[in-house]
Structure 1
């Protein structure tokens, strides 16, 4: 029985390219992404939560992320506890950052090679272990990622194409990673797959540079053509609508929708309220605790902004900053903070009623 793979990787070209390579293995794979710092432990905890409820043989596969010694010790201990309880879990890590040397010296599962990028390490390991069904472009694309990630400027052709691929990832910001984690990953990997298939073309770097905008539009387009902003907005509003079961909040009898880090609230927020008129308001909270509220003549959101954060604005468009807000990497923890704030404000202010605008 093939194990289920839980693949955690970084959020740059190298990290997502590791996940692109793994798409060509015959395994059931659940993918996750993290930047360095607190998000690494948050994502590993997310994986461990899944593994505690599963009886399937599983692999925790980590690429392009170096763990601190404390993080590696914690992960090793947690997996040992699960295995002692009857689970079948293996840890595999493939990384190239020299700062992981202490961990590599201590743990057999921690493989470190500073001479290759993580995509190349994943590619070689997948060929040897994971029954890689390799498309004809893959080895060349891996060389491209390796050249730009290790900054091998002498490999001019690969390096120049790698720079455009790097920008393809860094400028792909239409989707938020916290509430649209799976969709954002699929978006980036889908664009990289398109780029990988052009890797053997003459002047591939120029061709890709000119096609980036069209590739993005192709991903979001469903029927009629439109601007990238409008296509992405419709896509995002539709995804938000699919998440109403757990992203709905209530304040003093008014029905609201809570998003996190989506941004562009004037367009997306208003688009959501038009598509879902049963909602009185939408509030988007940023990682720094700033919030942007929008309404469509159902409630005066300037009063909500004032009560929640001492903010204000217009009846249909207001904002403020929540004091003491803690950045989170999981939506459920964001929602818990906001619901605690709501309960506190309702308890203090009492059951005040707002008049609809208009």
Structure 2
């Protein structure tokens, strides 16, 4: 295929990320997206369509290890046709999956390839060899068989199955980064861990060796200079990521500069670390997926008062919390920010002056 750009949406388990791992060894420019089932799939597909329109370039939309509903398939098929007809672009669709629940869509659309006998990674691997000029390392076929063994629960393939279980945990228990806030970096983190795992494929008792190395492999990803605990290394790394994204994630309330994060958690450590690293910010607020707010300040403003005005919350001047009524869980940061800025604009219009200014604390 001659197209140079692939927008690749895949699942968030070992099989899903392994599809993207395989595609790394093709000569195309790839933008990775990941989603679980439900509303997240539609939001990520919408993001792909938006990015394609923005880039104004021909591309392949590749979906792996996710079955689309009839409505999702119909919508996506229509969007691609509209782009091609209206913008005179050449966008193609390819879906490679193994979940039988997608049979209805597979029967309607030629771009929907369904094979229930292989995991999605194996389907992607075989398809990539035939269609995407795969430059495969010597370990790749064995890695694919490892994923296939554990994803299809082939316990009789003992060595592959046992190593596959450890690789599965390597993905499912890797939560140091947030896949909404840091989508690209989080995916790269998981793929780098899988690459490290391949180094043990040909070792005796590979599953035991990898199991014992997981902690150090994770630390090596976050380590910049000196060694530290995984928590401290990850915190420092995340604070830097937050800082690098200041232009996009800054909010303002009554003249005070704040930082909006989503689903990062650990606000006492990460939030305070951010405020120390970037003292030009008066406060930071982390919103959970269900709308719970955790606010931190460093003697610049009372977040207790902000929390009260935003969500009838409360707490201390430098540490407070609350819950935003009617918050809708999102899988894209820009949609989260839209919701929070609406709250800010509504409250700013009616609330009085902040009760605690810097000189009052």
TM-score exceeds 0.5: yes
Note the 1:22-61 alignment, pairs <5 A: 22-61=23-62
**Following TM superposition, where does structure 1 have runs of at least 4 consecutive aligned residues deviating by more than 6 angstroms?**
none
Counterparts of 1:114-125 in structure 2 under 5 Å? 114-125=116-127
Tell whether the 8 Å contact from 1:252 to 1:353 is kept in structure 2 after alignment: no
Q: 1:205-244 to 2 correspondence within 5 Å?
A: 205-244=207-246
The two structures, once aligned, show a CA RMSD in angstroms of 1.0
Give the alignment of 1:42-191 within 5 angstroms. 42-85=43-86, 86-191=88-193
Aligned residue number for residue 258 of structure 1: 260
Which of 321, 326, 340 is equivalent to 1:338?
Answer: 340
Contact in 1 for aligned 2:178/2:264 (Cα 8 Å):
yes
8 A contact 1:3–1:56 mirrored in 2:
no
CA distance in 1, matches of 2:190, 2:357: 44
Q: Give, in whole Å, the separation in 2 of the partners of 1:53 and 1:306.
A: 40
8 Å Cα contact 2:305-2:355 kept in structure 1: no
Please report the TM-score for the alignment, with normalisation by the length of structure 2: 0.97
- 1:75-123 per-position Cα deviation (integer Å, ceiling 9, x unaligned): 1111011111211011000000000001111101100000100000000
d(CA) in 2 for partners of 1:226 and 1:187?
18
3-state SS of 2:66 partner? coil
2:317 paired with 1:309: no
SS at match of 1:233: helix
Give the deviation of 1:50 after TM superposition: 1.4
Relative to 1, partners in 2 of residues 1:297 and 1:352: Cα closer, same or farther, differing over 3 Å? closer
Cα contact 1:147–1:158 (8 A) shared by 2: yes
CA distance in 2, matches of 1:34, 1:122: 17
1:6–1:61 CA contact under 8 A, matched in 2 = yes
Q: CA deviation at 1:353?
A: 5.2
3-state DSSP class of the match of 1:40? helix
1:251 Cα deviation after fit: 1.1
* TM-score under structure 1 length normalisation: 0.98
Which consecutive unaligned segments of at least 5 residues does structure 1 have?
A: none
CA distance in 1, matches of 2:294, 2:236: 19
- Per the alignment, residue 5 of structure 1 pairs with 6
Uncovered stretches (5+) of structure 2, i.e. residues with no partner: none
Q: Provide the aligned length of Structure 1 versus Structure 2.
A: 358
Cα drift, residue 344 of structure 1: 1.0
CA distance in 2, matches of 1:267, 1:97: 41
Shift of 1:299: 1.0
